[in-house]
Amino acid sequence: MTPGHLQDEYPHLYEQGIWIFGDWDKALHAAGFDPEKMRKRSLWDEEKIIETIRAMHKKHLPLYAAYVIDNHGKLFSATLRQFGSWANALVATGVTKKPRTKKLYKGRPSLLDALSDALERHTVKKLPQALKLSFIC
C-alpha cells in the first residue's frame, strides 16, 4: 500500500495519518511498519551510500562488484548514479586509495598463483594490498 494509492483511494486515512503523526513515515512506524522497507524506491544520497559501504567493509563482506550487484542491487544502482562507478565509490568511502586502471594479474590462473604464494608467506589478514584490491573491483 503506497501513499499514492492511499491518497487516491482512501484520502481520509492518509490525511488522518499525517494529521495525527505529523508525516506518513511516522504514521507507518506507529502502525509497526518500517518506512524504508515499505517504499518501492529507497532514497540513496551520497552519505547513505558511503555509510552503507563502510558498514559492509567493517563487517568484512565482499566488496567486489559482482557480489554487490547480486546481494545489494539497489545500493549498486544508486552508487553508479551518484559516483559513476563502483570503484569511484570505494575511493570516496576510503576503502581503497584510487581506482585501478589496469589489471595487475592477467587471468584467473595468475591471480590464483599470486594468492597461493601470498597465503604461504602471510596470514589472510596480512595479504598485500594489491592482491586484496584484485578481489574488490
Q: What is the pLDDT of residues 81-129, one digit of tens each?
A: 999 989 889 999 988 877 655 555 566 666 667 767 766 766 666 666 6
Domain span at 119? 107-136
Do 89 and 53 share a domain, yes or no? yes
Do 78 and 60 share a domain, yes or no? yes
Do 88 and 51 share a domain, yes or no? yes
> For residue 44, what pLDDT is reported?
83
Do 85 and 55 share a domain, yes or no? yes
Neighbour-count burial of 115, counting CB atoms closer than 10 A to its CB (0-12 exposed, 13-18 middle, 19+ buried): middle
pLDDT in tens, 21-32: 998 889 888 988
pTM equals 0.49
Q: Would you state the cell numbers that stand for residue 41, as one nine-digit string? A: 524506491
The residue to which cell 488522518 is assigned: 16
Number of domains in the chain: 3
pLDDT, the chain, mean: 80
